[in-house]
Every structure is written in structure tokens, then in C-alpha cells.
Structure 1
Amino acid sequence: AKNPADSSVDELVARAEAHLAANPSDGRGWDVLAPVYLRMQRFADAAAAYRNAIRLDGDSAVRQAGLGEAIAGAAGGIVSADAQDAFEAALRLDPANAKASFYLAMALAQEGRGKEAAAAWQVMLGKLPPDSPWRGAVEQALAKSGSEVASGAAAKGPDTGDVDAASSMSPQDREAMINTMVAGLDDKLRQNPRDPEGWMRLVRSYVVLGKTDQARDALGRAIAVFGADSDEAKKFTAFGASLGLTVTE
């Protein structure tokens, strides 16, 4: 009975939730509620709402990009494989979707592929309208990636250039080179363990090499460094799950 203009956001959301509980097939209702959940940082609820909207009202770039952002938010900002799938689906529907492009570049940065991420953000800057709200985010991301490159940041796993260079080697030499690089990263992290991105590169490198036990061990060590209740530990756990890893006691 209350005028919506006099209601708080929480009250409006509660009314929408009550409506959807009674009318779960109202795709438009889920579509309206999903971005509100996202702004409220209720990421799991946002992901569920976007999935319902897609199931009931069909695919769209905006819905897929929102779903990807919700999945990444629930994982503490890590752009997991599921989030990447959603962003790639958004770009197939709308190649100019800025949110999807931004987060896919972020995924490259999180994988230690800083140069590729910076190149992707530069391409975005060249295409974004002058008044786009994404320009600031892209410029900030580029500045951060540039400072990390300039400072040498942390040791990293093999990048695409290293893989290209290894392609002309014998299988034995190639494997030895990659193993040496990964072992170097592992050693670097033993000496300077408070490097969240370095730990994620190490875990991913072990997974790519098929060394699941070492990947799981590295994941456990990373969590131990920052503490099991830390924000970093939550990100590591979500990142590991996206790679099919669970943390052992």
C-alpha cells in the first residue's frame, strides 16, 4: 500500500522478491532485479536473476555481461572460466559491449598476460565514445598495468612469447624450459610470498602442466600465507574452483 517513491531500496527489492516468489516466470521482473542485486553486491542473487532472465526472456549481450560480472563478483573479482564464457557470449551478441571487453582484458591480466591485457584495453580506448563511463576504468587499468611492467612486478609463469619460442624446441627441451620457469616462480614466491597474482599464476601454470598435486599444494600454501579467513583466501579458493581444484586440509 506504500507509495514506491517513499520506499527505501531494500523495501522495493523486498516487494520485487515477493512478486517474483508468486510469479517466478516473470522474466521482465528478473531482468529488472538482476542489476539492482549487482549494485547491492548481492552477487550470487544477481547471477541467479540473470540466469532466470536469460532462460525466460532470451539471450542478450547486456544480460550475459551482467551474468559475467555477477560471477566474477561472487569470486572476489576473479574472472573465472564461467565468467569468461558469459562475457564471450555477450561479445558474440554485441561486439561493442564495453563491460565484456573490459573484464576479458582483466582476465588476461589475472593470468599474468599483462601485455595482452594492456593491448586489449588500448583497443577499447580507441573505440569508446568520449563520454563513455568505461573510459576512466580502462585508463586506470592501463596505468596500473604500466606501473607493474615498469617496476618489474613479480616473477611470472611462461607467457605466449615464451611458448612461441619453445615451439621450435624438442618436446623434452620444451618441457624442461617451462618446468624451469615455473620452478623459478615457485622459488620466488617462497622468498616473497605476499603476491596474490603470483600465486594465481603459479597455480594455473601447474594445472596447465598437468601437475594437479603441485597446483593443489600451491593453492594451500597461498591460502596459508594470507590466512584462511582473508579476502585473498576467498579469491584463491574461487580461482582454484574455476580450475577444478579444491583445497586440501
Structure 2
Amino acid sequence: MIVISFAAGLAFIVTLLLMLAAAGRLSFPASSGFDVSAALSDRDIFRRQLAELEKMRAHGLLDDSSAGEARLELVRRILAAEREAPAGGDKADGNKQARQCDQTRRGRGFRLFLSLAIIFVPLFSALVYYFQGQPFAPAHPFADFMARDPAGLSLPEHIVRLEALSARAPQNAQYADRLASLYLQAGRFQDAANTYSHAMAIGGDTADRLLGYALALTGFEDGVVGQDAEAAFRNVLRLDPQNPQAQLFLARGLVQGGKKAEAIALLQDFWQKTPADSPWRQNLQAAIVALKSAQSAPDSVAAGAAGGIAARGKPAADPTAEQRAFIAASLGRLEARLKAAPGDLQAWTMLINAYLLLGQRDKAQAAALRGLSVLPPAAAQSLAAFARQKGLSVAAK
């Protein structure tokens, strides 16, 4: 059963009454009820001027000679107006009445057209909306959306929510950081770069912000490490010398510039300084071997060996050794992120995807089960659907 709220019904009735009132006012305009001829109006004006002249003479504002001359002129004009009043005769009156009737007919036709337009346009729009739109669809207030559990939101919904929060608190650097990270995940690199830049302006430079900014610039350039991105990666290393992503992307930039030997030297130096228990050490060594084997190959092949991200941020179907090192370097950060916020659905999906890209299916399965055990029901269902999409055997709790 379709139920229309009292407020909506009242608004419709008021709108309809206003349309009818406007149409009626145009169709039946108010009339003055009497007509005054032009000649009669002129005579009245002259007589009033004559009366004003007498008052001015009585108050001494005019001398007798000037007042007499003005009086004679006004009397002459009054007599001329009285002679002209009947001069046109019945013929002039007939022509005037004919013109007035013609103007009246034209005015009524135009007013009728306007009245029909006022009524037709909104009624036609209402009918089109009734049959083509969804006038009885349930409302979805934005406040209800903002009150939902963030763990159960999809990536686009997360972005909308963070955009609203950032708009309400534009000086909140944490909101800007989270929004920029979501933009980066969604492949919206220009938005990510702008948001990271805003976060650094209000919250200062940090290694994570500079890294995200550099990754966004690289993604926007289809994987090419430009000058701005290179400068940002170097600033990351200034704050965090052991950051593997910055090292790998700097090597990628060197390879793209034809400096393969410098790229190998950079990665070898980083590998020697990397602690033995680092999760990316083995993959980093494999990336160095791949670069050495590609050193004599064309630039495109070598660039593929040191590719950090593919075009527009999409990973290649078969990750190279260096890409594996990049993914492995991200695992530690994802684990730390989930340790601090175990209800982060997006982090769980990224962790599962990273293990799958590395070919570690058993670890991806274990990560999915861990996520299902800590996530709320709605988010757990989303994670289970994602895992099944990847070919993992899981069931939502």
C-alpha cells in the first residue's frame, strides 16, 4: 500500500492552489472600472495650474503683470483643449474603441496562453516523474549513511564518508590521510596527490604522507617516476632510510632513465643495510638478480624488472621479482595496520590480495580466516565474498 506523508500531500495542495491563483490572476486581471479621456486630463491639469498661479500671486511670489501673462496663456490652452475634445467626432471614438477591443482580445489570448503554460508545465513534469521516476522510493537520509558501521562499507562508500568528514573538519590531518589513502586504493591518483598535499600543509611532512604523495604522482604518470615523485621518494628516505618502497621506486626511476647500473648499486646498498629478518630481504635480492639479468636487455624489459606499479596502479598479471619485493615490503605495514585496527575491512582485503600476488595461497587463506574471526558480521560477509572471489574456501560467520 502506497502511503504519502501528510507534509508531502500538503505541499502538493499548496503548490496546486498557487498555480491556479497565478493562472486566474493572468486570465482575469483587475480592472480600474472607469476611463478618462486624454483631453479631459489636459483640461484638469491646466485648471490646477491656474489655481496654483492664483495662490502664488496671492502670496506675492508673482507680480500682477507676470501673473496676468501666465493666466492668459493657461486660459488659451484650456480653450484649445475644449475645442479639440469633440473635434474627432464619432469616427475618432469608433476608431479608438476598435483599437481597444483589438488590444483586449490580444491581451486575453496572451493571458490565456500564459495561464495554460503555468498549469501545463508543472503538471506535465509531475506526470513524467510519476511514470519514469521513483516518487515512492524510500528515503535514504545521509545522516543514516554516516551513522553506519565503517567496517561494513565498500571502498566507494568509504570515500564518500571520508569526504564528508573532511569537508566538516578541513583542518583534521587524520581525515585527510585516510581519504588520500582511499583515493590511492581506488586509482584516483590526482585526488590522492591533492589530498596528500593538503595533509602535509596542515599536518606537516611525514614519511607515510610523502610516500603516498610520491606513489600518487607515479600512478598519475602511468608508472613513470617523474622529477616531483623522485624528490618526494628521496624525502621519504630522509625521514625513513629503511623504507623499501621509496628505494624500489627510486631504482625504477633510474631504470626508466637508462641508468641500470646505478639502480642495481642503489638496491645492493639497500640490501646490505637491510636487517636479516626483514620480510622483503629475500625478494629484494631476487629483484637485484632480475635487474642484472636484464641489464643488457632493452630498456622496456629492464623497466619491467624494476616495475613498482603498473599503468594506472593496476598490478601486472604476473608480478616481476621487484614487484614481489614491493608487495612483500607492504606486508609488514599491513600487519601493523591490522594490529592497531583489526576491524579495517580494506586492510584485510589488501593483505589477502598481497599474499595471493606472492603466490602464498596458504597464507592468504589464513589471513582470510583471521579476518573473519575479528570482523563484525556485515564486514565478515563482505570479506567472505571477496575471498571466495579469489578462489579461497571460507564461510562468513
Give TM-score scaled by structure 1 length: 0.57
**Higher relative CO (CA 8 A, sep ≥ 6), structure 1 or 2?**
1
Please name the residue that 2:164 is paired with. Answer: 18
1:81 corresponds, among 210, 227, 230, to: 227
Give TM-score scaled by structure 2 length: 0.37
Please name the residue that 1:142 is paired with. Answer: 288
User: Structure 2 matches for 1:1-249, cutoff 5 A?
Assistant: 1-130=147-276, 132-135=278-281, 138-149=284-295, 152-154=296-298
1:43 and 1:70 in contact (8 A); partners too: yes
Which is further off, 137-146 or 112-121?
137-146
1:79 and 1:106 in contact (8 A); partners too: yes
Letter in 2 for 1:96: Q
Q: Distance in 2 between matches of 1:76 and 1:197?
A: 17
Q: Distance in 2 between matches of 1:30 and 1:141?
A: 34
Q: Distance in 2 between matches of 1:196 and 1:123?
A: 23
Letter in 1 for 2:179: L
For structure 1, the 5+ residue unaligned runs are: 157-194, 199-230, 233-249
Distance change >3 Å, CA 112–CA 45, structure 1 → 2:
same
Deviation of residue 72 (structure 1)? 0.7
3-state DSSP class of the match of 1:25? coil
Q: Distance in 2 between matches of 1:35 and 1:131?
A: 28
3-state DSSP class of the match of 1:47? helix
Please name the residue that 2:57 is paired with. Answer: none
Identity score, percent: 38
Q: Distance in 2 between matches of 1:36 and 1:16?
A: 9
For structure 2, the 5+ residue unaligned runs are: 1-146, 304-310, 313-397
Distance change >3 Å, CA 60–CA 5, structure 1 → 2:
closer
Q: Distance in 2 between matches of 1:141 and 1:53?
A: 33
For the pair shown, the structure with the greater C-alpha radius of gyration is 2
Deviation of residue 130 (structure 1)? 4.3
Letter in 2 for 1:102: L
Aligned length: 159
Displacement over 6 Å in runs of 4+? none
2:193 and 2:216 in contact (8 A); partners too: yes
1:112 and 1:197 in contact (8 A); partners too: no
Letter in 2 for 1:39: Q
1:46 and 1:67 in contact (8 A); partners too: yes
